[in-house]
Structure 1
Amino acid sequence: MRRRDFLTAGAGLGTTALAGCVTPATTSSAVALPGAPGDALVQPIGAPMRPIKSSMDRVARTIVGLRPFRKPGPRLESVKVGSKDVVHNYGHGGGGVSLSWGVAEMAASMVKDFGRTDIAVLGSGSIGLSTALDLQRAGADVTIYAKDFPPYTTSNVAGAMWHPVTLFERDQVTPQTLAMLDLASKIAFSRFIRYANDPKYGIYWIRQYSFSDREMSTTYPYVGGDALYPGLVRNQPNGPFGFARYDAYYTLMIDSDIYMRALVNDFLSNGGKMVERSFESESDLEALPQTSIVNCLGLGAGKVFGDESIIPARGQLSFLLPQNDIEYGYAGGTKDHGLLYSFPRKTGILLGGSVDKGDWDMNVREDEVRRMVEGHAWLASKLG
């Protein structure tokens, strides 16, 4: 598919994707595989949980990433910058990987309106690569420009459990942005679910829990609508680890190191080009040969385009040696150990527990490593 097809074909872009969007069932039976619970890849929500072996001698590595958090929510719009037509697609906070295929499809639909097939994408994280791949599939010739490429992107150090979070400040987000996020979530989930249990992409089902010692709010639905979270139950009593209340659902775990490597291979196999380049200001865009540009620079878009509403939301993750018997994740606040979350990956058990807005520090904090390791060990002890 080349120029004429790109300009005339729908290519599955934009809001038409909703027509084919899968609406997951809301009962656990839709996810649990046939056979005895012990044979299922994902256990029933109420099945016992094996304890994570959390200790300092099992920590394999610790990494730090800066989420591109934009207070009014992600920016997705078409603008004119000098002689260039630019689609902004950045500021997705802690939901960049989760939302990637949705906002990519919507951004690619906007680019199609420019009427050109030679496209530049700025940034090589999950948003940039997904956008580039969608443009390629629609027949465009795409060049990705970035300072860093996988495995050295923010997406490579993302928790990447499918659930868009840390997206906006509630008092600053508009109804239009909320509607965009719901649509992007529906599109993205319908795309991600097609990769489930494919080892090439490192995506598989898990059961996920949120816990609290207090009543859990059900004022707002989850991003994209509660129907996107199979088996969802909310504000239930007798939570895991002895907590008073919990939410639980099934979702997809995205092992970002495996996944990002697969996206790069797909992009290059389709004839894409990756060029190392830094951008300091809008004027730098004039040097690009392409007239149509998609800005997926994430946190870097703040400096280049003068957006003061985007700030870092620092996250530190430690990885324990893998355990084959852990197929659940969890997140919640604790009195003595602060915020804790954990997700199972084939490459190791991810331990997290920090969302530090406005913090640019990329150094590993050893006290945070110990807090998380000890906190998750305490939770594991509550399972008996």
Structure 2
Amino acid sequence: MGDTVIVVGGGVVGLTTAVVLAERGRRVRVWSRDPAARTTSAVAGALFWPYRIEPAERVGPWALRSLREYLVLAGDPAATGVRVAAGLMTDTPLAGLGSWADELPELREARRDELPDGCAQALRGRLPLIDMPAHLAYLEERLGAAGGGVERRTVAGLAEPAAEAAVVVNCSGLGARELVPDASVFPVRGQLVVVENPGIDEWLVSAAGNGAGTSYLFPQPFGLVLGGTAEDHAWDPRPDPETAAAIVERCAALRPEVRGARVLAHRVGLRPARPGVRVEAVQLPGGARLVHNYGHGGAGVTVAWGCAEEAALLAG
């Protein structure tokens, strides 16, 4: 079992970490309670942007590494689910975004005639926008091609995988609250609405306010994703009709053609937040090495590759 690594968690962070490890020659098994299509990752928007994640000094390098990978993957969007799309991020200054923004030469201050009604400032640029169901399937296929695999398995404690592998990587997200246990992990509930796209081909994020009322429109192959919410310590996975109606109304205020679009789906995801992302290694009493990689909040997609590479290094 000396060359075996068990990754606990089959969302985007777990699968990306498993891919990196497998492509470096490790024998990788992913233990996941749910299929990838039923994880929180599958609900994500998912626009590349460091959203609700700390600490900033570590997030920057993780995001930069991930951005470079997504730009490569965007060369084949049909296979990877990743494409580069144009759009607007309102109420966000260009200064201070971090080194990752330097990789996007088209990112600039929007002209006044490019601003939606009611918006005084925005950035305009082209960013990776990921079709998460397609991307998760791609990661599973890439893992399989590298010799790894995914097993449906519920884990009651991290001692279970440690009994079968010399290295365990904990990518359990919100599950880390019980598995570690780590009481600092908490859910940030996000609700969104998927509607028939009335012809919108650019993404739009209105980041005014404290983040709880951030509005966004993400055109995806399966429909137009409207959001969203960010409710700390909210555990209810059921869509709330009043919240859904408010989301549609906020988005329609930005793009009036959304009003009246046929609703295709309501979705809720519980983002696995923590005061700071935990990527570190500890030694277990039985001799196995445990690498933690969890607490990514609303930016798991944005930092997945950077965190995966750091976790792989810690795995030895």
TM-score where L is the length of structure 2:
0.73
Distance 2:100 2:17 in 1: 23
Match of 2:153 among 243, 265, 277: 277
Counterpart for residue 303 of structure 1: 178
Superposed displacement of residue 299, structure 1: 1.0
Counterpart for residue 236 of structure 2: 361
Which residue identity does 1:202 align to in structure 2? G
Q: Find the residue that maps to 1:313 and give its secondary structure.
A: strand
**Residue deviations 1:251-295 (CA, integer Å, cap 9, x gap):** 011000111111112222333222222223344344x31111111
Q: CA RMSD in A?
A: 2.7
**Residue deviations 1:154-199 (CA, integer Å, cap 9, x gap):** 110111111121113xxxx4xxxx3322221121111111111521
Superposed displacement of residue 307, structure 1: 1.5
Superposed displacement of residue 326, structure 1: 1.4
**Residue deviations 1:68-100 (CA, integer Å, cap 9, x gap):** xxxxxxxxxxxxxxxxxxxxxxxxxxxxxxxxx
Mapped contact 2:61–2:100 kept (Cα < 8 A): no
Match of 1:262 among 138, 149, 168: 138
**Residue deviations 1:126-160 (CA, integer Å, cap 9, x gap):** 11111111111111111111111211111101111
Superposed displacement of residue 223, structure 1: 4.7
Counterpart for residue 108 of structure 2: 233
Instruction: Classify 1:269/1:245 alpha carbon distance in 2 versus 1 (closer, same or farther; 3 Å).
Output: same
Instruction: Classify 1:348/1:211 alpha carbon distance in 2 versus 1 (closer, same or farther; 3 Å).
Output: same
Instruction: Classify 1:151/1:376 alpha carbon distance in 2 versus 1 (closer, same or farther; 3 Å).
Output: same
Q: Find the residue that maps to 2:36 and give its secondary structure.
A: coil
Which residue identity does 1:139 align to in structure 2? G
Mapped contact 2:213–2:230 kept (Cα < 8 A): no
Mapped contact 2:200–2:219 kept (Cα < 8 A): no
Distance 2:125 2:25 in 1: 38
Distance 2:34 2:105 in 1: 36
Distance 1:224 1:117 in 2: 36
TM-score where L is the length of structure 1:
0.61
Counterpart for residue 136 of structure 1: 22
Percent identity, please. 24
Distance 2:62 2:154 in 1: 28
Mapped contact 1:164–1:223 kept (Cα < 8 A): no
Counterpart for residue 253 of structure 2: 378
Counterpart for residue 350 of structure 1: 225
Counterpart for residue 101 of structure 1: none
Distance 2:195 2:203 in 1: 15
Match of 2:7 among 113, 121, 129: 121
Counterpart for residue 197 of structure 2: 322
Question: For the pair shown, which has the larger CA radius of gyration, 1 or 2?
Answer: 1
Distance 2:51 2:214 in 1: 14
Gaps of at least 5 residues in structure 2 are: 259-316
Distance 1:321 1:251 in 2: 22
Which residue identity does 1:262 align to in structure 2? Y
Mapped contact 1:331–1:342 kept (Cα < 8 A): no
Q: Find the residue that maps to 2:214 and give its secondary structure.
A: strand
Gaps of at least 5 residues in structure 1 are: 1-114
Which residue identity does 1:155 align to in structure 2? S
Counterpart for residue 269 of structure 2: none
Instruction: Classify 1:310/1:331 alpha carbon distance in 2 versus 1 (closer, same or farther; 3 Å).
Output: same
Match of 2:70 among 181, 189, 192: 192
**Residue deviations 1:24-70 (CA, integer Å, cap 9, x gap):** xxxxxxxxxxxxxxxxxxxxxxxxxxxxxxxxxxxxxxxxxxxxxxx
Mapped contact 2:205–2:214 kept (Cα < 8 A): no
Superposed displacement of residue 229, structure 1: 3.3
Distance 1:269 1:217 in 2: 42
Which residue identity does 1:307 align to in structure 2? D
Q: Find the residue that maps to 1:119 and give its secondary structure.
A: strand
Pairing 1:37-116 to 2, within 5 Å after superposition: 116=2
Match of 2:207 among 309, 332, 349: 332
Which residue identity does 1:179 align to in structure 2? E
**Residue deviations 1:206-239 (CA, integer Å, cap 9, x gap):** 1231224xxx556x62254431333222487563
Instruction: Classify 1:291/1:353 alpha carbon distance in 2 versus 1 (closer, same or farther; 3 Å).
Output: same
Mapped contact 1:314–1:359 kept (Cα < 8 A): yes
